[in-house]
Amino acid sequence: MDSYDDIYSKVALALTSAQVAKQGVVDDAGIGEDIPFTFMGWDGPRLAVLMSLGPETMSKPVLERMPLVAAVSEIMRKVYCVDSITFVAEGYISKSVLNVRWRDLRKDFANNDKDVSECINVVQIGFDSFGHPYASLMAAAYSYGKGREVTWNSVNYYEHGVGKVMKDSPIVAMIALALKDEAIGVEPEQYMAALDAISGDGVQIHEFQEPPLLGETDDL
Residue-wise pLDDT tens digits, 79-127: 899 999 999 999 888 876 655 555 677 777 677 777 788 999 999 999 8
How much is the average pLDDT of 17-34? Answer: 90
44 in a structural domain:
yes
Q: How many CB atoms lie within 10 A of CB 83?
A: 17
140 in a structural domain:
yes
183 in a structural domain:
yes
Interval 42-84: pLDDT, tens:
999 999 999 999 999 999 998 899 999 999 999 999 889 999 9
217 in a structural domain:
no
Residue 29 domain boundaries: 7-207
- Amino acid at site 138: M
- Amino acid at site 183: A
Provide long-range contacts, Cβ within 8 A and 24+ apart, for 102-107: none
120 in a structural domain:
yes
220 in a structural domain:
no
Q: How many residues does the chain have?
A: 220
The answer on pLDDT for 30 being more than 50 is yes
For residues 49 and 46, give the distance between their C-alpha atoms in angstroms, rounded to a whole number.
9
Give residue 214's pLDDT band: very low, low, confident or very high (50, 70, 90): low
Provide long-range contacts, Cβ within 8 A and 24+ apart, for 129-133: 131/220, 133/176, 133/179, 133/180
3-state DSSP call for residue 120? Answer: strand
Q: What is the mean pLDDT of the chain?
A: 85
216 in a structural domain:
no
Q: Following DSSP, what letter does each residue of 79-114 receive, concatenated?
A: TS--SEEEEEEEEEEES-GGGGGG--HHHHHHTT-T
What pLDDT is stored for residue 35 in this prediction?
A: 93
For residues 19 and 7, give the distance between their C-alpha atoms in angstroms, rounded to a whole number.
18
The answer on pLDDT for 184 being more than 80 is no
Higher pLDDT: 212 or 72? It is 72
In the beta sheet, which residues pair with residue 122? 88, 138
Q: How many CB atoms lie within 10 A of CB 206?
A: 10
13 in a structural domain:
yes
Higher pLDDT: 159 or 171? It is 171
For residues 153 and 159, give the distance between their C-alpha atoms in angstroms, rounded to a whole number.
20
Residues of the chain above pLDDT 70, percent: 87
What pLDDT is stored for residue 212 in this prediction?
A: 80
- Our count of domains for the chain comes to 1
For residues 37 and 54, give the distance between their C-alpha atoms in angstroms, rounded to a whole number.
9
